[in-house]
Copies of this chain bind each other. A is one copy, B any other.
């Protein structure tokens, strides 16, 4: 197996905590990190190894985006600044109904993956229709992913009723079970859009197969009322009753929490996936990450889709998360820069049940890494590299990316993806979607004449 030494100016391994190391080497062998050593010792020990000098860079674990609908990157900026119901009913859902199929998912997912890799993201946790297409696109692009197996009580081009979704999802899960880059997770859409029987079936199988459950939970105030109306009990009580409130739950959004919820989440070891930019942009509420952290709840970060963000820039999301946590709690000590970095890396690995493989630069873990250049105007001067990573670094400064020891990006350029072709495909969809929207508007206009 090839051995390669990465020789960065600075190393932030995330574990051990709070360390910023100089004059270190990270030794890659095959898909894993073989050792983390002083530079001189590594060079003496591995004399025949390849060397990658990163003299102006900090080396980090790759970032983990814990909530995406990748294919929706084709709807980036399609509709903004609208009420949630108008946004969904009049814009997003009609377009999805018209276009979502394997080609849409393939081309949109590739666009999303390219953007994520370029910004240092080496793992994404996705939830969308045609998950077998998302899975294939991820493997093809060499990125690691957890592929959500969607379940919703609405028929789509992909499946009919809830059991059909679950059965199709299981087949996807089984067909990819030997692919080292992929996991799968059950992805019931939301408490208001999946029934009790389906949730119970999912809970049972998630325990039997040790699969994560990736679900929108408590995204908006409307959902709180809807749970009482539909089911006569609050959302978290219902999730508990169907057997989903446990350490396998990746509860996304969670903007509507009361004091009891905090205790329940902490007691059940539920993972909360915070998506601050999407929550803000849709005016859905603000997740109280300061309180969750105080209760010991594991917190990770997601961008949500580019239709409600409008980018997949996880570093920028961590800045928003850190700033918002301080501002909302009126306490600048809440969520410091290192804690924000943990949300991007080790906390996400923990949420996925993969903290022995991912989320830090330690011997024996998978070599999913990124390097960031530090020699730009807005990272000068530098008193604290972790502060800079969260508060000033732009994702455009990510220079190198490795997934499973394979270098995918070098000096800001892709080694394996044809970006021009990905952009051309996205423009093709842009034209189709624009034409359809124009036709729909003119039809509506005619109806009103």
Output the least CB separation between A283 and chain B (Å): 4
Contacts of A324 in B (CB 8 A): 280, 324, 327
Contacts of A78 in B (CB 8 A): 383
Complex Cα spacing A279 to B285, Å: 19
Are A87 and B332 touching (Cβ within 8 A)? Answer: yes
Q: Select which of B326, B329, B388 is within 8 A of A77 by beta carbon.
A: B388
Bound CA–CA A433/B79 (angstroms): 48
Closest to A78 in B: B383
The CA of A310 and the CA of B383, in the complex, are separated in Å by: 12
CB distance from A89 to the nearest CB of B (A): 14
Q: Does A83 contact B (CB under 8 A)?
A: yes
Copies per complex?
Answer: 2
CB within 8 A of A380: which of B329, B426, B433? B426
Q: Which of A8-16, A130-138, A389-397 lies on the face that meets chain B? A: A389-397
Q: Residue of B at shortest CB range from A285?
A: B330
Q: Whose C-beta in chain B lies nearest to the C-beta of A393?
A: B311
Is A294 at the interface (CB under 8 A from chain B)? no
Q: A377, B423: Cβ atoms under 8 Å?
A: yes
A62, B378: Cα distance in complex, Å:
19
Asked whether any CB of chain B lies closer than 8 Å to the CB of A18, the reply is: no
Chain A residue total in the interface (Cβ 8 A): 73
A384 neighbours in B (Cβ, 8 Å):
77, 80
Residues B283 and A327 in contact, CB atoms below 8 Å apart: yes
* Chain B hits for A81, CB < 8 A: 326, 332-333, 335-337, 387
A394 to B384, CA, bound (A): 23
The listed residue (B111, B286, B433) touching A327 by CB distance below 8 A is B286
As a 0/1 sequence over residues 72 to 85 of chain A, the CB contacts with chain B under 8 angstroms (1 = contact) are 00101111111110
A276-299 interface code vs B (CB 8 A; 1 in, 0 out): 110111111110000000000000
CB of A430 within 8 A of CB of B82, answer: no
Q: Which of A82, A310, A382, A429 has the most CB of B within 10 A?
A: A310
> A387, B326: Cβ atoms under 8 Å?
no
CB distance A323 to B280 under 8 Å?
yes
Q: Is A354 an interface residue (CB 8 A)?
A: no
Query: CB distance B310 to A392 under 8 Å?
Result: yes
Query: What's the minimum C-beta distance from A306 to chain B, rounded to whole angstroms?
Result: 8
Of chain B, the residue at the smallest CB distance from A255 is: B327
Interfacial chain B residues near A391, Cβ < 8 Å:
77, 80, 281, 309-311
One of B333, B388, B429 near A82 (C-beta < 8 A): B333
Q: A277-B323, A311-B391, A387-B310 are in contact. Are A331 and B283 (CB under 8 A)?
A: yes
B residues less than 8 Å from A224 (CB atoms): none
A269 lies within 8 A of chain B by Cβ: no
20 contacts between A and B (CB under 8 A): A74-B381, A76-B380, A76-B383, A76-B392, A77-B392, A80-B384, A83-B332, A83-B333, A280-B324, A280-B326, A281-B391, A283-B329, A283-B334, A284-B327, A306-B378, A306-B392, A310-B391, A320-B320, A324-B327, A381-B426
Q: Which residues of A are interface residues toward B (Cβ below 8 A)? A: 74, 76-84, 87, 111, 114-115, 118, 221, 276-277, 279-286, 306, 309-313, 316, 320, 322-324, 326-337, 375, 377-378, 380-384, 387-388, 391-392, 394-396, 419, 422-423, 426-427, 429-430, 433-434
